[in-house]
Chain A
């Protein structure tokens, strides 16, 4: 026998990454998101004005060469506030998403692998959690426990985990039917090994896509909670918070106090969704 050839055709993760970088959708999303990440990291050192200093003499100035995006009702520079405002949301939302991914993956692996009664019970619980509107649950929890970033994190993590769990479960169900799982049982592997070393690597792609999509929603949820006063707390220049503080002014024609924060939220969510689309199209090719 001379058939000892190993195909060096690379369609491993390296090739996937190369194709990802060549995808225009992904690149657009990445540019937007990287811009905001840059703002969050070093924005505070670069902005022209201190985003926290009140200057009542210069309140509600329209956009000008000195204040590019104008000033708010306390005279603070809107441009500086929008740039620095990326910081809190880009800490809370990704952390919450990461937590929900970890929790959801563990849940989904358990439901998919064990099946039967365990799956039945956990599925009903996750369905029940999914039926509750996130914002209402958040309000209840935050009222009961007091507003804090930790509570926001936990609430978002718990309300997003069931969605991730469902995605993971259905991917796991396909994998459990494959013979490599039977082969692992036939060499007496422990359950944790089968779950996390045998099955998990093969269900990572859908998890990656789902949690990127969730990140977009998490940003939305954090912004919403901040807007209604239960999320990030003043004096943070957070976007949702700023909109909430200024939206009463729109009627007076002071559109700049709200528009740029809204655009910031929208662009970040769109950027993340573009990334999710890019990843999905590469993985599904």
Chain B
């Protein structure tokens, strides 16, 4: 039987400003019928180019320079236009990263999905039933209602279901999924991944699954190919590649992940030093050699071949040495930040609402917690839970509702930065999520730092220059970065500048709002290490907002779980992760895919987040809670249960009935055993 998709020595180049830049080099891969093949790599590796090439959708300046692409045994570049159209109609479909942009905003869902059947020549009278059928197949519970909706009236997860429905409606041989869950919340991502798994079993479609997220790939795919700088560097069965990587890049990627049981007080995260070579770069020898710990003269002079041995293949001169690569990081174990009992920030009855009357959105309600000097408080929850609003209230960028109390060092904090004293403003700073937005693209690094130091510390002249240089070195940049504008720096370097700016005023509390979500894993590891180190040396308290539970676990001492503007659970990181925990926390934890792929007793959340303009009665979580008790949870607000001295949650369930996660924390944080330790990617 022919393979669903074959790349034979595929090379792709883009013409940019009159020059040709090679982005894929001699890719060889086969996807058998019904097989799910994952393509992973960091941004800029050529993953999406491979996806677009597979369906002959390359942008206008893209060009297949050599090799062939076969779908169902047909060379797609030999096909005439009508045949190509037919191929896309019946044999191959694609699902894109952002469903909000891949659906037509001006067509109702029903009309949009029926286009597939129209093209397939189904009689018009049958369209509505066929559309309802296919929507039901992607587990949309009320197809008739959804068919009348426009895409913008659906949630992101729902939109992606519709996109998937359109893709599988023609029962294609090959389904190309380009980062299908990247923009979605963990709980929604879990649902969509479930759905794809389910459809795969039902339709026996082959899948090319593109993702930067190793854990998602591990869960979804039979085989995995790792791309680095446009070359396939390793290929193997999923369980093998994650257990025993044979290419140093794969091993490096795996080691970068903040994994279960790893936390800042045990060890630093591994990083991959250096940078991805730019597109079209001329490289002699192995393309990974400049960043590889195993590289020697041979690697720098001769490009290794992509050698197949059985069902594994690797592009490395020394695959057998990869297993000996030191997984533990040769770095001093950090001194745990002094977790004194001094409460530096006390928040009580914090509320924030927007709008008036019926439109009134109550984004935060009755939020109260303390932050201790030198600790990290992780803040987790789905998007829309009010994490960022809380951060902005603490910073004084948003004025909380009257009656809210925020105290810093036992002094009440005013609602705006203008009304706070200079000392208060300089003591509470933030590292924003996206450095592209947080750094003014018209200002040099030096200017940003010197303004902050000048205004908040009041240093001038030589003293200010000295401090700028000290800061720059503290975040591992050099003096020559000072004159750079943001666009001249890579994402990781930009985030370092943002961190330097946040530390410029010597804050006592630093809010880190998704500090690594815009970054690749290897860069993320370096930034997390930096944050951990700076905390240890400068004794800062962090409030860490992240949707990535691995990141939260790595940095946090305590964790607060937020849902619809309320804190449902707060406690020591260890306790929140191992349980007994709130049903919502349990759902969050179990929705995270793990590299070992084992995920048996998943807690599923159904339905969408209720609107903050119309909050549920009783417990805010009862509409989605798998353990909802009718008559109680939907009537009465839950009591605060104190489990241990420090671990508090709001639930009607008696403590002995709350679920726990049986996880063995690693003894020393070194050499994670990937077979049985889930990884939060």
Residues of A within 8 A of B (CB): 1-9, 11-12, 178-180, 182-189, 198, 201-202
Top 9 nearest A-B pairs (CB, nearest first) are A201-B442, A179-B438, A179-B432, A180-B440, A178-B437, A179-B437, A1-B476, A187-B455, A187-B452
Bound CA span A188–B273, Å: 37
B456 touches A (CB below 8 Å): yes
A-B contact number at CB 8 A: 90
Contact call A185/B476, Cβ cutoff below 8 A: no
Taking A5-B275, A187-B452 as given, write out 20 further A-B residue pairs in contact, using a Cβ cutoff of 8 Å, ordered by the A residue number.
Answer: A1-B273, A1-B476, A3-B274, A3-B275, A3-B490, A3-B526, A4-B476, A5-B490, A178-B438, A179-B432, A179-B433, A179-B434, A180-B440, A187-B456, A187-B505, A188-B422, A189-B455, A201-B442, A201-B443, A202-B442
Nearest B residue to A1 via CB reads B476
A-B contact pairs, 11 of them (CB 8 A): A1-B526, A3-B490, A4-B478, A178-B438, A180-B439, A182-B392, A183-B501, A186-B397, A186-B425, A186-B430, A187-B455
User: When the two chains form the complex, which single residue of B437, B455, B477, B505 contacts A4, counting CB atoms closer than 8 Å?
Assistant: B477
Chain A positions within 8 Å of B397 at CB level: 182, 185-186
What string of 1s and 0s marks CB contacts (under 8 Å) between B512-539 and chain A? 0000000000000010000000000000
What string of 1s and 0s marks CB contacts (under 8 Å) between B455-486 and chain A? 11000000000000000000011101100110
Chain B positions within 8 Å of A3 at CB level: 273-275, 490, 492-493, 526
Among the interface residues B396, B418, B452, which one has the most CB atoms of the partner chain A within 10 A?
B452
Chain B positions within 8 Å of A202 at CB level: 440-442
Chain A positions within 8 Å of B422 at CB level: 188
Contact call A7/B476, Cβ cutoff below 8 A: no
Contact call A183/B275, Cβ cutoff below 8 A: no
User: When the two chains form the complex, which single residue of A6, A12, A178, A187 contacts B451, counting CB atoms closer than 8 Å?
Assistant: A187
Expressed in whole angstroms, the minimum distance between the Cβ of B487 and any Cβ of chain A is: 7
Contact call B273/A187, Cβ cutoff below 8 A: no
Contact call A9/B488, Cβ cutoff below 8 A: yes
User: When the two chains form the complex, which single residue of B432, B433, B490 contacts A7, counting CB atoms closer than 8 Å?
Assistant: B490
Contact call A2/B273, Cβ cutoff below 8 A: yes
Bound CA span A71–B440, Å: 59
Nearest B residue to A198 via CB reads B440
Expressed in whole angstroms, the minimum distance between the Cβ of B288 and any Cβ of chain A is: 15
Nearest B residue to A180 via CB reads B440
Nearest A residue to B432 via CB reads A179
Bound CA span A201–B274, Å: 33
Chain B positions within 8 Å of A7 at CB level: 488-490
Known: A183-B432, A186-B429. A4 touches B273 (CB 8 A): no
Bound CA span A69–B365, Å: 80
Chain B positions within 8 Å of A8 at CB level: 488
B417 touches A (CB below 8 Å): yes
Residues of B within 8 A of A (CB): 271, 273-275, 392, 395-397, 417-418, 422, 425-426, 429-430, 432-434, 437-443, 451-452, 455-456, 476-478, 480-481, 484-485, 487-490, 492-493, 501, 505, 526
Expressed in whole angstroms, the minimum distance between the Cβ of A178 and any Cβ of chain B is: 4
Chain B positions within 8 Å of A188 at CB level: 417-418, 422, 425, 455-456
Nearest A residue to B397 via CB reads A182
Contact call A2/B437, Cβ cutoff below 8 A: no
Chain A positions within 8 Å of B274 at CB level: 2-3
The main secondary structure of chain A at its interface with chain B is: loop
Nearest A residue to B447 via CB reads A197
Nearest A residue to B433 via CB reads A179
Bound CA span A188–B505, Å: 12
Contact call B476/A180, Cβ cutoff below 8 A: no
Contact call B456/A1, Cβ cutoff below 8 A: no
Chain B positions within 8 Å of A183 at CB level: 430, 432, 438, 440, 501
Contact call B489/A6, Cβ cutoff below 8 A: yes
Chain B positions within 8 Å of A187 at CB level: 425-426, 451-452, 455-456, 505
Nearest B residue to A202 via CB reads B442
Nearest B residue to A4 via CB reads B478
Bound CA span A241–B651, Å: 84
Chain A positions within 8 Å of B434 at CB level: 179
Nearest B residue to A175 via CB reads B440
Contact call B437/A180, Cβ cutoff below 8 A: yes
Bound CA span A236–B451, Å: 53
Bound CA span A187–B426, Å: 7
Bound CA span A7–B275, Å: 11
User: When the two chains form the complex, which single residue of A2, A11, A186 contacts B417, counting CB atoms closer than 8 Å?
Assistant: A186
Bound CA span A1–B478, Å: 11
Expressed in whole angstroms, the minimum distance between the Cβ of B660 and any Cβ of chain A is: 39
Expressed in whole angstroms, the minimum distance between the Cβ of B222 and any Cβ of chain A is: 35
User: When the two chains form the complex, which single residue of A6, A184, A198 contacts B488, counting CB atoms closer than 8 Å?
Assistant: A6
Bound CA span A201–B456, Å: 24
Expressed in whole angstroms, the minimum distance between the Cβ of A193 and any Cβ of chain B is: 9
Bound CA span A202–B441, Å: 7
Expressed in whole angstroms, the minimum distance between the Cβ of A168 and any Cβ of chain B is: 16
Expressed in whole angstroms, the minimum distance between the Cβ of A56 and any Cβ of chain B is: 61
User: When the two chains form the complex, which single residue of A4, A185, A186 contacts B481, counting CB atoms closer than 8 Å?
Assistant: A4
Nearest B residue to A204 via CB reads B442
Chain B positions within 8 Å of A180 at CB level: 437-440
Chain A positions within 8 Å of B452 at CB level: 187
Chain B positions within 8 Å of A6 at CB level: 480-481, 484, 488-489, 493
Chain B positions within 8 Å of A1 at CB level: 271, 273, 476, 526
Expressed in whole angstroms, the minimum distance between the Cβ of A173 and any Cβ of chain B is: 14
Expressed in whole angstroms, the minimum distance between the Cβ of B496 and any Cβ of chain A is: 9
Bound CA span A185–B476, Å: 26
Chain A positions within 8 Å of B488 at CB level: 6-9
Expressed in whole angstroms, the minimum distance between the Cβ of A39 and any Cβ of chain B is: 37
Expressed in whole angstroms, the minimum distance between the Cβ of B423 and any Cβ of chain A is: 11
Expressed in whole angstroms, the minimum distance between the Cβ of A187 and any Cβ of chain B is: 5
Among the interface residues A4, A5, A187, A198, which one has the most CB atoms of the partner chain B within 10 A?
A187
Expressed in whole angstroms, the minimum distance between the Cβ of B280 and any Cβ of chain A is: 13
Known: A1-B476, A6-B484. A185 touches B440 (CB 8 A): no
Chain A positions within 8 Å of B492 at CB level: 3
Nearest B residue to A19 via CB reads B17
Among the interface residues A8, A12, A182, A189, which one has the most CB atoms of the partner chain B within 10 A?
A182
Expressed in whole angstroms, the minimum distance between the Cβ of A86 and any Cβ of chain B is: 36
Chain A positions within 8 Å of B501 at CB level: 183
Expressed in whole angstroms, the minimum distance between the Cβ of A172 and any Cβ of chain B is: 14
Contact call A189/B476, Cβ cutoff below 8 A: no
Expressed in whole angstroms, the minimum distance between the Cβ of A3 and any Cβ of chain B is: 6
Chain B positions within 8 Å of A179 at CB level: 432-434, 437-438
Chain B positions within 8 Å of A2 at CB level: 273-274
Expressed in whole angstroms, the minimum distance between the Cβ of A22 and any Cβ of chain B is: 10
Chain B positions within 8 Å of A184 at CB level: 440
Chain A positions within 8 Å of B487 at CB level: 11-12
Nearest A residue to B428 via CB reads A186
Bound CA span A7–B492, Å: 13
Nearest B residue to A185 via CB reads B417
Nearest B residue to A2 via CB reads B273
Bound CA span A201–B486, Å: 14
Nearest A residue to B455 via CB reads A187
Nearest A residue to B398 via CB reads A182
Expressed in whole angstroms, the minimum distance between the Cβ of A199 and any Cβ of chain B is: 9
Bound CA span A7–B488, Å: 5
Expressed in whole angstroms, the minimum distance between the Cβ of B516 and any Cβ of chain A is: 15
Bound CA span A9–B395, Å: 36
Bound CA span A283–B505, Å: 36
Chain B positions within 8 Å of A201 at CB level: 440, 442-443
Bound CA span A47–B505, Å: 66
Expressed in whole angstroms, the minimum distance between the Cβ of B80 and any Cβ of chain A is: 34
Expressed in whole angstroms, the minimum distance between the Cβ of B472 and any Cβ of chain A is: 10
Chain B positions within 8 Å of A198 at CB level: 440, 442-443
Bound CA span A7–B484, Å: 9
Bound CA span A32–B587, Å: 68
Among the interface residues A3, A8, A11, which one has the most CB atoms of the partner chain B within 10 A?
A3
Bound CA span A8–B492, Å: 16
Bound CA span A3–B426, Å: 29
Expressed in whole angstroms, the minimum distance between the Cβ of A282 and any Cβ of chain B is: 13
